[in-house]
């Protein structure tokens, strides 16, 4: 046997979990304090928000936030966003147990243009205020991002805050700074924020709504901080029928979030990633979505595990259709269309040495078409990646073969299994650099 086996292999079945004693099934549930199992109610708490003829009348983030907070204060329910255009100067903060339900493409949330200025005075880590060099375009209530070069370690500090009071160019913040923002570190402030932001929430949903980042009029900030939707340390969040477009950053990003579901969404024309499951996120499920004309369509960040990415389309993304990397293991990428990626269709990237490889992932039944330029690669497996299965994929190059490669396997990769793939139109169908 060679160190790699290209024989047909079936995935090993997981060992069955031990059967544990279970209580009787709940057949007649009642609403009991603290118990998540309760009856299916015919009607729940619901409130409308819109420019006219709504329970809360308004056409900006404040109206939607007021509705979200009202419903959350009563224990949860639905905020119905009526047709209209809503202008955002700050994020709407999602709350546990609240469902935001729009009216499809008729409910459009648009980020106002960003402005940026240096700080005119030093602010220390314990301060809760800043002084701006130029306050034009900044208003009380605005969401901002503060950026500075850390004077102690030369790193970059980035904090999100809200302006809550002012005297001229001097503004109070909603929270203390926690780091030093000094003028000798070129500290600055920008009106940047996510359109919908969720931090340490549970069981929320956002559905059937259009989010526009107004990319042409906003500065760039990466998906570790913002996006059309940005979630952090939150669980059981459901996004369905959401359009996330034109953000100068990511479309939808979730960091250290578990059991996130993204269904039938569309993320396109964003400067960053279409969908970005971030550091340590477990058990994400993404189905039926279209990720088009982003930098990367679907980006697995660090330590993303047990995700299912199925029946999606990643088309015309500038670099990669799918990128899997730093300690992203035990994921299933199945039955997706990965079309016309600028560099590589599906990319398993090597980061930070052998113990961080994207191992034990399954790439099955995907259709990858016309990846990269003249030396493009449909599926590229880097570094010391181990135990990856490519099964029943269709890799097609409809242009001239040129120097294009179907599957490229790095010299030190191990246990890369190719099973019943169709590879057509490439100058080199499989390039195994160990051979």
Instruction: Please state whether the predicted TM-score (pTM) of the whole model is above 0.85.
Output: yes
Contact status, residue 204 vs residue 233, Cβ threshold 8 Å = no
Q: Which tens digits make up the pLDDT trace of 334-387?
A: 999 999 999 999 999 988 777 789 999 999 999 999 999 999 999 999 999 999
Tokens 């906003």 identify what position?
218
Q: Which tens digits make up the pLDDT trace of 8-24?
A: 343 443 444 457 898 99
Nearest alpha-carbon partner for 372 in 348, 394, 339? 339
Please calculate the CA angle 277-278-282 and round it to the nearest 5 degrees: 70
Alpha carbon distance 360, 338 (integer Å): 21
Contact status, residue 42 vs residue 170, Cβ threshold 8 Å = no
Tokens 């609240």 identify what position?
98
Q: Enumerate domains of the chain plus CATH numbers.
A: 116-190 (2.40.30), 194-201+215-432 (2.160.20.10)
Contact status, residue 157 vs residue 110, Cβ threshold 8 Å = no
Give backbone dihedrals phi and psi of 195, rounded to 5 degrees, phi first. -75, -45
Please calculate the CA angle 303-253-354 and round it to the nearest 5 degrees: 20
Give backbone dihedrals phi and psi of 48, rounded to 5 degrees, phi first. -105, 150
Cα within 13 Å of Cα(396), Cβ side = 11
Alpha carbon distance 327, 119 (integer Å): 38
Alpha carbon distance 343, 377 (integer Å): 7
Length of the chain in terms of residues written: 435
Cα within 13 Å of Cα(145), Cβ side = 22
Alpha carbon distance 62, 43 (integer Å): 26
What is the residue-level pLDDT of the chain in tens, covering all 435 positions? 444 443 334 344 344 445 789 899 999 999 999 888 989 999 999 999 999 999 999 999 999 999 999 999 999 999 999 999 999 999 999 999 999 999 999 999 999 999 999 999 999 999 999 999 999 999 999 999 999 998 788 889 999 999 999 999 999 999 999 999 999 989 999 999 999 999 999 999 999 999 999 999 999 999 999 999 999 999 999 999 999 999 999 999 999 999 999 999 999 999 999 999 999 999 999 999 999 999 999 999 999 999 999 999 999 999 999 999 999 999 999 999 999 999 999 999 988 777 789 999 999 999 999 999 999 999 999 999 999 999 999 999 999 999 999 999 999 999 999 999 999 999 999 999 988
Tell me what pLDDT residue 434 has: 86
Mean pLDDT of the chain: 94
What token pair was written down for 384? 């010391």
């Amino acid at each position: 046997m060679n160190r790699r086996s290209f024989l047909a292999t079936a995935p090993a079945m997981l060992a069955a979990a031990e059967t544990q004693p279970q209580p009787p099934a709940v057949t007649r549930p009642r609403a009991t304090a603290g118990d998540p199992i309760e009856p299916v109610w015919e009607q729940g708490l619901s409130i409308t928000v819109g420019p006219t003829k709504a329970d809360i009348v308004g056409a900006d983030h404040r109206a939607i936030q007021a509705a979200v907070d009202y419903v959350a204060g009563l224990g949860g329910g639905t905020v119905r966003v009526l047709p209209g255009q809503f202008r955002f100067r700050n994020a709407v903060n999602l709350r546990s147990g609240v469902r935001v339900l729009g009216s499809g493409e008729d409910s459009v949330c648009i980020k106002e243009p960003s402005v940026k200025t240096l700080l005119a005075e030093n602010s220390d880590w314990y301060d809760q205020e800043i002084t701006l060099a130029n306050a034009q375009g900044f208003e009380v209530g605005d969401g901002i991002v503060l950026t500075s070069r850390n004077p102690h370690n030369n790193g970059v500090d980035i904090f999100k805050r809200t302006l809550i009071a002012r005297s001229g160019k001097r503004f109070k913040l909603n929270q203390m700074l926690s780091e030093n923002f000094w003028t000798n570190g070129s500290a600055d402030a920008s009106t940047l924020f996510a359109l919908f932001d969720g931090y340490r929430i549970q069981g929320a949903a956002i559905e059937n709504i259009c989010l526009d980042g107004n990319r042409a009029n906003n500065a760039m900030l990466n998906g570790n901080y913002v996006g059309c939707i940005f979630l952090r340390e939150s669980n059981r969040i459901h996004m369905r029928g959401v359009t996330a477009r034109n953000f100068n950053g990511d479309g939808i990003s979730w960091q250290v979030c578990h059991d996130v579901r993204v269904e039938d969404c569309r993320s396109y024309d964003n400067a960053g990633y279409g969908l970005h499951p971030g550091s340590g996120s477990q058990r994400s499920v993404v189905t039926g979505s279209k990720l088009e004309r982003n930098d990367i369509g679907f980006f697995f960040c660090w330590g993303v595990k047990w995700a299912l990415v199925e029946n999606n389309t990643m088309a015309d993304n500038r670099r990669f259709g799918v990128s899997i990397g730093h300690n992203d293991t035990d994921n299933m990428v199945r039955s997706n269309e990965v079309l016309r990626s600028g560099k590589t269709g599906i990319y398993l990237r090597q980061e930070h040495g052998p113990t961080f490889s994207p191992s034990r992932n399954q790439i099955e039944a995907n259709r990858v078409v016309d990846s990269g330029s003249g030396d493009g690669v449909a599926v590229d497996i880097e570094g010391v990646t181990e135990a990856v299965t490519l099964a029943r994929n269709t890799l097609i190059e409809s242009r001239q073969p040129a120097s294009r490669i179907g599957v490229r396997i790095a010299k030190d990769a191990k246990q890369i299994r190719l099973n019943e793939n169709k590879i057509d139109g490439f100058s080199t169908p499989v390039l195994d650099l160990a051979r």
